């Protein structure tokens, strides 16, 4: 049920922990905000102008996941149509919901001696980082990104995503105003 209505992976895991601890609703709202505030940064660059129609836009914004964002950021996605973007997002939603259900059922079948399967998500983001780097070719940006991510990890722990992405966005903003020929501020 969590998987269908909220459709936000990391938040669902946090929520299960909070609900079993009977946390107050206000704290749950704050956690939801912290875990998912990164979506603000996705909105900065997601090709929503190519998704026409109110209902399609609403669906598209609901299913704007890390994975969907990552895929539409690839260079080939520049000219993607509404149909193509939605066609990317829908399978992610279906996959996430079915695998969450299957995972809950099958999770118990994997022997406890098999560890490390959770590396799949790391590998996924690593691959997308490689893709992002080949599209952007920005070595100083990579170094700054690693730096702010590690600092955010050390400073705020599990709430690091929003802090790291926010700090990186500020870095880009400063660099943009410093390097652009005209002032855009």
156-175 residues near another protein, rule: CB under 8 A:
157-158, 160-161, 164-165, 168-169, 171-173
DSSP annotation of 126 reads H
CA atoms within 13 A on the CB side of 169: 14
Alpha helices in the chain (DSSP H): 2-5, 9-20, 25-36, 39-45, 54-62, 66-72, 82-106, 119-136, 139-156, 160-179
Q: Which stretch binds another protein (CB under 8 A): 84-92, 97-105, 154-162?
A: 154-162
Among 55, 107, 113, 178, binds another protein (CB under 8 A): 113
Smallest separation (angstroms) from another protein to the CB of 9: 11
Residue 135 binds to another protein (criterion: CB under 8 A): yes
Alpha helices in 73-138 (DSSP H): 82-106, 119-136
Residue 144 binds to another protein (criterion: CB under 8 A): yes
| Window 66-105: residues binding another protein (CB under 8 A) | 66, 69-70, 73
């Amino acid at each position: 049920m969590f998987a269908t209505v909220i459709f936000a992976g990391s938040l669902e895991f946090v929520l299960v922990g909070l609900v079993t601890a009977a946390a107050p609703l206000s704290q749950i709202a704050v956690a939801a905000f912290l875990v998912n505030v990164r979506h603000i940064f996705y909105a900065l660059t997601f090709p929503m102008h190519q998704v026409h129609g109110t209902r399609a836009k609403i669906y598209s914004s609901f299913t704007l996941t890390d994975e969907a964002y990552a895929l539409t950021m690839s260079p080939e996605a520049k000219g993607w149509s509404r149909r193509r973007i939605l066609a990317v997002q829908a399978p992610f939603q279906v996959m996430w919901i079915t695998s969450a259900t299957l995972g809950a059922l099958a999770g118990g079948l994997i022997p406890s001696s098999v560890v490390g399967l959770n590396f799949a998500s790391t590998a996924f983001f690593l691959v997308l980082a490689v893709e992002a780097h080949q599209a952007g070719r920005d070595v100083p940006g990579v170094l700054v990104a690693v730096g702010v991510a590690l600092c955010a990890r050390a400073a705020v722990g599990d709430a690091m995503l929003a802090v790291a992405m926010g700090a990186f966005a500020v870095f880009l903003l400063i660099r943009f105003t410093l390097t652009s020929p005209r002032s855009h501020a």
